[in-house]
């Protein structure tokens, strides 16, 4: 059994904030893989499903970001889920918009949601870090993450969320590297000739020539 946690703030006024990208991704995982409807539980909203033969619990804490750990701890305690079987999906200002990285263990880098989870259950869980960009000034970070995504950001936001949901089975199966590669390709598809950068693209060119 795995617990996947999306981080964000509850309420319609926050729904499209950059800080809520974790909620968005978990919603898409639930939708795409046919999970049950969300129901109120563990100071949050919980849905259940199965991916690659593994039972998955999807949790969106309703405690607001800086108290996310209370919700995560409650679910982990009830189902006896160890930290290594928890995956947290969250916004990451240290990555440019559209980039994704996977991290297992380590520090919280000042993220208030992760800080709360660290305090309640420790650090030995996995994180899917979804880049939302940095405003360039640390004093503007709070305003940046609590603003809605700009229209232009939708060009990478929708492929990013869709890719994480589509290829989430790879993460469930423990294939971290393949998961990140496939998500990245959804956002920036490789050029048709990328595998042979020196090949001649002119129609009718001899594809068998040596390079």
Residues labelled as active-site residues:
19
DSSP string, 84-112: GGEEEEEEETTS-TT-EEEEESS--TT-H
> Do residues 160 and 100 make contact, with C-beta atoms less than 8 angstroms apart?
yes
DSSP string, 34-52: TPPPPEEETTEEEEEEEET
Listed in sequence order, the residues at least 6 apart from 45 whose beta carbon sits closer than 8 Å to its beta carbon are 38, 39, 59, 60, 62
Q: How far apart are CA 207 and CA 199, in angstroms?
A: 7
Q: What's the start-to-end Cα distance of the chain, in Å?
A: 50
Tell me the two tokens of residue 182: 């496939």
Q: How far apart are CA 38 and CA 29, in angstroms?
A: 12
Contacts made by residues 11-16, CB under 8 angstroms, sequence distance 24+: 14/146, 16/148, 16/149
């Amino acid at each position: 059994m795995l617990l996947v946690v999306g981080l964000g703030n509850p309420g319609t006024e926050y729904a499209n904030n950059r800080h809520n990208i974790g909620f968005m991704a978990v919603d898409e995982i639930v939708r795409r893989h046919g999970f049950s409807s969300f129901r109120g539980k563990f100071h949050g909203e919980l849905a259940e499903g199965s991916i690659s033969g593994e039972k998955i619990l999807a949790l969106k804490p309703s405690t607001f970001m800086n108290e996310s750990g209370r919700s995560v701890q409650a679910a982990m305690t009830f189902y006896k889920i160890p930290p290594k079987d928890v995956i947290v999906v969250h916004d990451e200002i240290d990555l440019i918009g559209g980039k994704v990285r996977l991290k297992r263990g380590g520090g919280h880098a000042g993220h208030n949601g992760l800080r709360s989870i660290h305090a309640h259950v420790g650090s030995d869980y996995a994180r899917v870090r979804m880049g939302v960009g940095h405003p360039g000034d640390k004093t503007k970070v709070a305003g940046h993450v609590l603003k809605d995504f700009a229209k232009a950001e939708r060009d990478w936001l929708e492929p990013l969320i869709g890719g994480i949901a589509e290829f989430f089975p790879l993460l469930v199966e423990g294939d971290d590297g393949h998961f990140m590669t496939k998500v990245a390709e959804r956002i920036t598809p490789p050029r048709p000739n990328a595998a042979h950068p020196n090949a001649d693209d002119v129609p009718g060119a001899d594809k068998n020539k040596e390079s």
